[in-house]
Chain A
Amino acid sequence: MAKAAKGKKQAPTDSHIVIADGDELNLHNRHLAAFLAWVVPGAGHYYQQRYFKSAIFSASVFSTFFIGMVIANFSCVYAAWNGTERRWQFALQSGVGFVAIPAAIQGYTSRGGNDPMLGSMLTAPKNVRELHKLHRETASGFDMGTLYTMIAGLLNILVMFDAYAGPLPPPVPKKKGDPDSGEEEKSSAKHDPPDKSSVEST
């Protein structure tokens, strides 16, 4: 133990403690944090008391999603898998949970021509004519809005991963003939086992 204390910071034994940028990071209940991050971007990090990252993530994901919704006239997020449209884009948009949940409910309850449960919000076009009308009215806004909201959903998957497991270790370039190069960065990467750098240098 004394030998270990002399060396670099050892990998933590608790599953909710990880090493990030050389410091210990407490992820608390990582499953709950990831779920919160899915439902509301940034909420998982807020729960983990990582307030700065919470602000960055929520601002980035919310703004991207909101810009997409605005330029598509709030019509580009809906769940539909029928003869009118196979909306595969929703799979990516559903990375943002607070919209994905009501949109999925709307899509499920409006099957077979029924009235959607939550009114007219986040509903799919009833037929091809209505879908074409959406495209016509928003010009390229419908497609651009779909793209923005898809990217927001994909970004939130990264946010969920960060809430669950901490930051990804950045790749460290290895210089030729210098076995110790990048040693400091490697020691700060959270998933590296203590002897990994010595294995790589051989």
Chain B
Amino acid sequence: MIVSMSLGYLFMYVPLLIAVALVIGASRHEKRHLIFDQVKKNAVWITSFMLGIYVVLQVVSWQV
């Protein structure tokens, strides 16, 4: 079961999320407010994508 995974592993995603969202956001804009708007969008998008993958894997694990 995926949910039986240690929560410690989930915290590994936080620094990666921040770094990836910041770099992608900053590589899209030059002005600060636009950069931070883009960073927020990136963070939401990445988290949503990972949650989607999580749900798919969870459903698959229920089927097995």
Q: Which of A's residues lie within 8 Å of B, judged by CB?
A: 20-21, 23, 25, 50, 52-53, 56-57, 59-61, 63-64, 67, 140, 144, 148, 151-152, 155, 158-159, 161-162, 166-168, 170
Contacts and interface: CB of A to CB of B under 8 A. Distances in A.
A160 to B, nearest CB: 10
Which 8 interchain pairs have the tightest Cβ spacing? A20-B30, A60-B19, A162-B27, A64-B19, A155-B23, A21-B30, A60-B22, A56-B26
A174 B33 CA distance: 23
B3 interface: no
17 contacts: A20-B30, A25-B30, A56-B26, A60-B19, A60-B20, A60-B22, A63-B15, A64-B16, A64-B19, A151-B19, A151-B20, A152-B19, A158-B23, A162-B26, A162-B27, A167-B26, A167-B30
Main secondary structure of the interface of B (DSSP, over half): helix
B28 A168 contact: yes
Nearest to B6: A140
Interface residues of B, number: 20
B23 A159 contact: yes
A67 B26 contact: no
